[in-house]
Amino acid sequence: MQEIHALLPRHLIQRHQYVANATSAAAMNRTKLGDFKLGMLVVFDDPMTVDNHLLSPHVARAQGFYFYDMKTTYNAWIAYTLIFNSTEHKGTINIMGADMMDEETRDISVVGGTGDFFMARGIATLSTDAFQGADYFRLKMDIKLYECY
């Protein structure tokens, strides 16, 4: 078993202005359905560091999307790829699942990998490392790969 512990700092929502459905109609829907951004879909391309210092070196990028899917609380569905391109690791890890943001930790699935992570499978345990409203949050990921070659 191979373990990777990493922090994924999600950016200010201003840096997420490229929200896929940032249209007035969708915004209307969101308002009508409550305060939890239901239906908002966000495309991201975020640096990952191994600790929570803003200036730490980036060990990977996380590229993918999430959308909020509940009317009663913040809850998201997420799918993304971790892209490693350093002397230490080259390759990708593909991840998807439901991010029940109310839970202190929640598990999603590592469904595949390439390069150094060829055919990886496993679990990514998410927890919220920092949260300032919905404008900025950092997500902590503990990744455990149970199938590697």
Give contact residues for a second copy (rule: CB under 8 A): 17-26, 29-30, 32-33, 38-41, 43-45, 63-65, 67-71, 75, 77, 79-81, 83, 91-92, 94, 96-98, 100, 107-115, 118-119, 121-123, 146-147
The SS3 assignment for 5 reads strand
Q: State the nearest-atom distance from the C-beta of 42 to a second copy, in Å.
A: 9
- Residues 119 and 104: beta-carbon distance below 8 Å: no
Report how far residue 104's alpha carbon sits from residue 94's, in angstroms, rounded to the nearest whole number: 23
Q: State the nearest-atom distance from the C-beta of 53 to a second copy, in Å.
A: 23
Q: State the nearest-atom distance from the C-beta of 31 to a second copy, in Å.
A: 11
Q: What is the side-by-side strand order in the sheet with 41-48? A: 2-9, 136-147, 121-132, 106-115, 90-99, 76-85, 60-68, 41-48
Which is closer to a second copy, CB of 24 or CB of 132?
A: 24
Which is closer to a second copy, CB of 50 or CB of 91?
A: 91
